[in-house]
Amino acid sequence: MLYKHLSENERIIIYFSFYIKNESISQIAKDLNRNKSTISRELKRNLNSFGLYNPSYAQRKYRRRKRNTHIFCMLKYKSFTDLFLEKFNKRSFGVEATCNYIKKNYPCVKVPSARQVFNWIKLKRWVIVRSDCLRRKYVKGKRRKNGMYSKLKNKYVLPITLRPESINKREKFGHWEVDLVMSKRQKGYSHLLTMTERVTRKTFIKLVKGKHPFTINSAIKKITEENKLVVKTITVDNGIEFSSIGILAHWIKCKIYYCQPYSSFQRGSNENANGLIRRWYKKGFDFSLLSENDIKNLEFKINSIPRRMFNFLSSNDVFKQY
């Protein structure tokens, strides 16, 4: 059975039973279905300045103690706090690493859980605050979100299940699919951003440095402006490079649809274009070796391939019709 704190009504009953009815602590405990030590402790710890028990005063003291529980808790861990300050470094030795270090090297020191330490930091009443940590955003039990993106997401970014049937059937022009063709899986390398129109399969390719969300947003915006594209919607996957795509949607005033996890077939046209790129450049190729002229030639080759679905016209031919 879980322990419950005494309520204000129970404190009133204790007062009347003890002072008015002159009942014993054991009898009061039996009436309230409590342990007699609970009643005894209540009468000792919540006396007023005259040495008498007052239910209203006892309730106020209880609320004050509950409000400041974390302060009393922190005082129990003074040795831990001193050691934490000595070892903690936001760049090289984070909160969890510091807790683990103290636990291993100082077995006599009482160490709280990492979650408890994060709660102290969040309260802004401990020796360090959130601004002292490298990761400043912390949402309990949830994924972190970029502030501006989280505001724009519900307005511009929607799951693919809400994409209209006319787009799914490729009946209208101006709906695009976007993806990133990865270079070597290491930092500092360039990648290819591909943007494919769903009706004509016309593909635009741009070299981008890294895969930071704002770099990707800027690259897509640049493609649309340089080529004066009609962009009504864009479909993307769940990659981290598209985590702030809602900002791009706000810039160019279009809707974004994101695919379900592990469902690349929901961007079939773009995946096919990526496969065509791999005909010339296999996986593991360093795209930073390519010049702008190489990218343009690759783009032209892909868009000039005759396609049976267009009666052996190329994507360039069909795109010109629109």
pLDDT at 151 over 70: no
Q: For 70-114, what is each residue's pLDDT tens digit?
A: 565 677 788 888 898 888 888 778 888 899 999 999 999 988 888
Kindly tell me the burial class for residue 39, based on how many C-beta atoms sit within 10 Å of its own C-beta (0-12, 13-18, 19 or more): buried
pLDDT at 1 over 50: no
Q: Could you tell me how far CA 230 lies from the centroid of its own chain?
A: 32
Whole-angstrom distance between the N-terminal and C-terminal Cα of the chain? 72
| Contact (Cβ atoms closer than 8 angstroms) between residue 220 and residue 248 | yes
Strand partners, 93: 89
163-172: list long-range contacts, CB under 8 Å, 24+ apart: 163/233, 163/235, 163/257, 167/198, 167/233, 170/198, 170/199, 172/199, 172/232
Q: What is the mean pLDDT of residues 165-173?
A: 90
The least confident of 107-111, 119-123, 180-184, 272-276 is 119-123
Distance CA 208, CA 220 (A): 10
Distance CA 194, CA 181 (A): 7
Q: What is the mean pLDDT of residues 107-124?
A: 85
pLDDT at 219 over 90: yes
pLDDT at 130 over 50: yes
Per-residue model confidence (pLDDT) at position 300: 93
| Contact (Cβ atoms closer than 8 angstroms) between residue 134 and residue 97 | no
Q: What angle do CA 184, 297, 268 make, to 5 degrees?
A: 65
**What is the value of pTM for the model shown?**
0.55
Q: For 27-58, what is each residue's pLDDT tens digit?
A: 998 888 898 888 888 888 888 878 888 888 88
Give residue for tokens 């979100």.
145
Amino acid at 104: K
Average pLDDT of the chain? Answer: 84
Report residue 2's pLDDT band, with 50, 70 and 90 as the boundaries.
Answer: low
Higher pLDDT, 225 or 189: 225
Q: For 229-276, what is each residue's pLDDT tens digit?
A: 999 999 998 888 888 888 888 888 889 998 888 888 888 899 999 999
Per-residue model confidence (pLDDT) at position 119: 82
Distance CA 317, CA 322 (A): 9
Q: For 286-297, what is each residue's pLDDT tens digit?
A: 888 889 999 999
Q: What is the mean pLDDT of residues 220-230?
A: 92
Kindly tell me the burial class for residue 295, based on how many C-beta atoms sit within 10 Å of its own C-beta (0-12, 13-18, 19 or more): middle
Per-residue model confidence (pLDDT) at position 127: 81
